[in-house]
Structure 1
Amino acid sequence: MKQIICLHSLTPEQIQQLEEAAPGYEFIVKNKKDLSPELIQNAEVFLGWSKTIAETALQENSKLKWVQTWSAGVDTLPLERLREKGILLTNASGVHAIPLSESIFAMMLSFPRQIHAAVRNQMQNKWDSTLSAPGLTTLGEINGKTLVIAGVGEIGRETARLAKAFGMRVIGVRRSDKPEPNVDRMYTLDGLHEALGQADYIVNVLPLTNETRHIFNASAWNAAKNGVVFINVGRGPTVDTNALIEALNQGRIGGAALDVFEEEPLPAEHPLWSMEQVVITPHIAGDNDRYAERVIEIFTENLKAYVQGQKPPRNLVDYERMY
């Protein structure tokens, strides 16, 4: 019997849902550490991925035909080897739209309302109504401000919708300049610096590709409006960390909220930890209690097509673009 291996915990209801979508397939739900080489080699489909199974799963005699990742990003997968073997790859793009956009606004609102400064004062039993955190020295509001969203996919679209509800002007940056609802102007990546010059707030949700690696570098910060707030919930290596720190120290960036980093976990001695104008979260901005439900929804739709001999209709990764 053909086998599908899931590396993540599923409820009995979710397993039944998948079995009904793919009759004739055996579903195996196991931790990666509990998989024998024989099981890995015989699996036709993987739901989830791990470096520990890669070598065995990609051997010449393995039966692997399709990988559905549990994550939206695929930059850590062996893309070239998967492409060479003709393996279909789909990601979980779309599952993060609501939790990430809500995280973005939690981060964004903390700066004009100085919540991050108030929390630090609370830890010191300190009453200070001036809330004079470095970088942003007065209380303000986001209404009427300009938000630049770098990467207008599912997350960017939901972020733009929320921004409009807050009365913001929204500028988008992505590979295509095709218009989007709730985006006042769209630029291609070539126009990133022009867009940054108009931003009061920058949100980065770009995927990591050869084109976007270190796209937020010293030149980008020189092009940005002085005192801009930067929020990164995309990919750590899209940002040149040294250039970011320099811009923060010089006040060119008024504040930064960072969920992702070039090196994770962020080392305890890293200078970002001690910067009062920086908010740090440990790569959790997309986590929520409905994550598995949304991944299974995508996988089920793809699975129904796959067993009919069709390509998965949702989130098929383009190996050339790397997303």
Structure 2
Amino acid sequence: MGKRKIVITQNIEQNLIDQIKEIIPDWNIITGKDKEIWQNHLSDAEIIAGWKKGIEKECLAPNSKLKWLQTWSAGVNSLPLELLESRNITVTSANGVHAYPISETIFSFMLGLTRKVHTYLRNQQARKWDHSGMKLEMHKKTVGIIGVGSIGRETAKIAKAFGMKVLGVRHSGRQQVFVDEMYTTNQLNEILPRCDYVVVTLPLTKETHRLFCSEQFDLMKPTAFFINIGRGEIVHEEALIHALREGIIAGAGLDVFEREPLSVDSPLWEMENVIITPHTSGSTEHYNQRVIENILIPNLLDYLSGKQPSVNLVDFLKGY
């Protein structure tokens, strides 16, 4: 009988590999981002960390040994969840890894739009000394955080340092620290007219697909800013563009889009009230370390003891 095998489809630091080896010294550990490194190991890998497009043929074949998939991203909407569920394959996500970098991006959007940093950068490039109508400040304003998971919680925590009123929306409506008022998703429209900033941190599911359409933007203040770091498909992009063009909302900070990369023809590129980042809000120097030490290793210890991995276990019914 051959060695048990784990495939990690990422380039990870040697000290992280060593930590894994200490736990499973008798296993064959395959690591590397290059497809040629792990392609021939997929069908007999018991654990795969890092889903890659096109690997389902080997991973979900009748003779596959796959028991547990640990994703390298928080979102799992791109996975064949129904097939994975039908094969009784446990799936855990990298949810929680992004709380610090994404919350920093959220506030860079909020502060940038409020204090016109994006406008002044354009002025700088044009060597133009201009006040540009600067007048807003963020302190004491109201932020609506749509999706109070790990990212939403960290965002709420930082918001309190600005003396902000925090309204939260989550599926359960369960109260959360640093959130002044919590609501369910069904109550979303009730809070939108109260928000100076609307921050979307939701995963993409059947329920959240195009949760924000013309109706939601029409409910927002004309002075409100919209921030989306969740998934692009949560927003009807044409409705957002219309709201930005017509002054229905004041501006937007966008890291995600309905189609990525964002088309060069998209009017969003040229809008002076929009800040765009290329789906990089979760990027951080500590990414691999957090996935391995905070998620993979605790889950691996569960798995080896005969338990189901418990950190970020994906609920197939909910889709996240």
User: In which range does the TM-score fall when normalised by the shorter chain?
Assistant: over 0.9
- The letter for the 2-side match of 1:196 is L
- The letter for the 1-side match of 2:13 is T
> Residue 89 and residue 320 in structure 1: after superposition, are their counterparts in 2 closer, same or farther (change >3 A)?
same
Which residue does the alignment assign to 2:111? 109
CA drift of 1:38 comes to: 4.2
Deviations 1:218-269 (A, max 9, x none): 1111222222100101111000000000111111110100000010000111
CA drift of 1:26 comes to: 1.3
Which residue does the alignment assign to 2:125? 123
- TM alignment of 1:32-51, pairs within 5 A: 32-35=34-37, 38-51=40-53
1:308 aligns with 2:295: no
Worse-matched range after superposition: 168-177 or 217-226: 217-226
CA drift of 1:35 comes to: 4.6
Corresponding residue pairs, total: 317
Aligned equivalents of 1:24 and 1:178: distance in 2?
Answer: 44
Percent identical among aligned pairs is 47
Equivalent position SS for 1:118: helix
Counterpart among 167, 173, 198 of residue 202 in structure 1: 198
- The letter for the 1-side match of 2:312 is N
- TM alignment of 1:23-38, pairs within 5 A: 23-35=25-37, 38=40
Deviations 1:9-63 (A, max 9, x none): 1111111101112243210113352056541100010010111211111111110
Equivalent position SS for 2:151: helix
> Residue 115 and residue 64 in structure 1: after superposition, are their counterparts in 2 closer, same or farther (change >3 A)?
same
Contact 1:235 1:260 in 2 (8 A): yes
1:190 aligns with 2:192: no
Which residue does the alignment assign to 1:212? 208
- In structure 2, the gaps of 5 or more residues are none
Which residue does the alignment assign to 1:135? none
- The letter for the 1-side match of 2:168 is G
Aligned equivalents of 1:123 and 1:3: distance in 2?
Answer: 53
Contact 1:32 1:53 in 2 (8 A): no
- In structure 1, the gaps of 5 or more residues are 133-137
Aligned equivalents of 2:217 and 2:264: distance in 1?
Answer: 26
1:229 aligns with 2:240: no
Equivalent position SS for 1:80: helix
1:242 aligns with 2:238: yes
- TM alignment of 1:69-148, pairs within 5 A: 69-129=71-131, 131-132=132-133, 138-148=134-144
Which residue does the alignment assign to 2:54? 52
- The letter for the 1-side match of 2:260 is E
> Residue 120 and residue 307 in structure 1: after superposition, are their counterparts in 2 closer, same or farther (change >3 A)?
same
Aligned equivalents of 1:175 and 1:128: distance in 2?
Answer: 45
Equivalent position SS for 1:43: coil
Counterpart among 252, 263, 277 of residue 267 in structure 1: 263
Aligned equivalents of 1:272 and 1:36: distance in 2?
Answer: 39
Deviations 1:198-217 (A, max 9, x none): 10001000000000000011
Contact 1:193 1:223 in 2 (8 A): yes
> Residue 159 and residue 37 in structure 1: after superposition, are their counterparts in 2 closer, same or farther (change >3 A)?
closer
Aligned equivalents of 1:156 and 1:168: distance in 2?
Answer: 14
What do you get for the CA RMSD once the two structures are aligned?
1.1
> Residue 36 and residue 304 in structure 1: after superposition, are their counterparts in 2 closer, same or farther (change >3 A)?
closer
Aligned equivalents of 1:188 and 1:223: distance in 2?
Answer: 17
What TM-score results when the alignment is normalised by the length of structure 2?
0.97
What TM-score results when the alignment is normalised by the length of structure 1?
0.96
Counterpart among 274, 290, 296 of residue 278 in structure 1: 274
Deviations 1:87-141 (A, max 9, x none): 0000001100011111111110011211110001111111112x14xxxxx4211
Aligned equivalents of 2:114 and 2:31: distance in 1?
Answer: 46
Contact 1:47 1:69 in 2 (8 A): yes
Equivalent position SS for 1:28: strand
